[in-house]
Amino acid sequence: MNRPHDLITLGRVGVDLYPQQTGVPLAEVETFARSLGGTATNVAVAAARHGLRTAVATGVGDDRFAPYVRTALRRFGVDDSQVVTVTGRQTPVVFCEIHPPDDFPILFYRAPIAPDQCLTCEDLDLAAFARARMIWITGGGLAVEPSRTTTLEVAALRAPGADTVLDLDWRPSFWSRPEDARHWYARALELATVAVGNRDEAKVAVGTRDPDKAADLLLASGVRLAVIKQGPHGVLARTPTEEVVVEPITVRVVNGLGAGDAFGGALAAGLLAGRPLREVVETANAAGALVAGRLACADDMPEPHEVTELLWRNARRHPQDPPLSVPPRAFTLAAHRPRDVSP
């Protein structure tokens, strides 16, 4: 029998077509760069870069983009055995605009329903989830059926001592009734042991953007660790007995998409390694900052030595020193999610 996966993520995959021209609307973009994307996919790739044995459970269409997704996952060292081909659906395509430092509207082509939203438990290897050291689910997976039921059932499969991480992952365009989200997030939190998201996502999940109150409410829901990403105010991580606040790292932003997923992959790796919470969050924060300085998501996830080098350089700076780079508009990043728009 193969050894258990360190991490299995459940959620979406997409083919990202990101503009190579910055600061212009999509109508004026002349060239695009293709890369792999989707929150669950990005986290699996990011964690694989840190040496974890990872898999992503997701769906693709019976179309010509599906082979690209599978090939890219294998190239990144991610097990694609739970990538399901859904007949009659199309592999999602994602466009965005790039307006640094903090505006990256994203356009999802997933209508009427994406393959990952069609997954049922019958499509998946549930035994693999039950043996995994960590399961990663997303708020986006709660938006519609049958992926909602599948997400909740998978979340409950964790082995004794394992974690189920709920990535709050708020995508309003996925929900026909956004007002229903709070209820389903609460159901997922009952099954999770770790919750991670930014302040806007925390508001959807527990009703407040205040990081202190949100962390307390997430812990009250039953998770053992709440992580609130606060943009220019850093990261707050809290357990019932410990609190860590990590300052942001100033970077020159190329594209803020994918930063939160780089954060997630490094967070998973650190938690599974049993590292001190401060070290885990500092490493995750640096991983997110690195990806914000790059164009792509999965393709640009950092290697551990790059994260270590950034942390070392950041630690050596004295308060009077200039930031690592001095762009016209520096962006202090602790990993955020961009706004999304409907096609």
Q: What is the DSSP string of 197-210?
A: EEHHHHHHHHS---
Nearest to 294 by CA among 253, 335, 260, 263: 253
Q: Indicate the pLDDT class of residue 16, thresholds 50, 70 and 90.
A: very high
pLDDT tens digits, one per residue of 161-207: 999 999 999 999 999 999 999 999 999 999 999 999 999 999 999 99
Say how many C-beta atoms besides its own lie within 10 A of residue 22's C-beta. Answer: 13
pLDDT tens digits, one per residue of 318-341: 344 444 332 322 333 444 445 555
pLDDT at 145: 98
Q: Say how far apart CA 287 and CA 285 lie, in whole Å.
A: 5
Average pLDDT over residues 203-217: 98
Q: Which residue stretches of the chain are H helix?
A: 39-49, 66-75, 126-131, 147-155, 181-191, 199-206, 211-220, 259-273, 277-292, 304-316
> What percent of the chain is modeled with pLDDT above 70?
92
Average pLDDT over residues 82-110: 95
pLDDT at 332: 38
pLDDT at 102: 86
pLDDT at 101: 84
pLDDT at 233: 85
Q: Which phi and psi (to 5°) does residue 289 adopt?
A: -65, -40
Report the alpha-carbon angle 250-224-304, nearest 5: 40
The DSSP secondary structure of 107-126, one letter per residue, reads EEE--S--GGGG--GGGS-H
Say how many C-beta atoms besides its own lie within 10 A of residue 2's C-beta. Answer: 8
Average pLDDT over residues 214-243: 96
pLDDT tens digits, one per residue of 118-171: 999 999 999 999 999 999 999 999 999 999 999 999 999 999 999 999 999 999
* Amino acid, res. 14: G
Per-residue pLDDT for 342 more than 70?
no
More confident call, 337 vs 224: 224
Q: Say how far apart CA 255 and CA 258 lie, in whole Å.
A: 8
* Average pLDDT across the chain, whole number: 92
pLDDT at 204: 98
Q: What is the pTM of this model?
A: 0.92
Average pLDDT over residues 53-71: 98
Per-residue pLDDT for 252 more than 50?
yes
Average pLDDT over residues 285-292: 96
Strand partners of residue 166: 137, 195
Per-residue pLDDT for 36 more than 90?
yes
Fold of 7-341: UDP-N-acetylmuramoyl-L-alanine:D-glutamate ligase (3.40.1190)
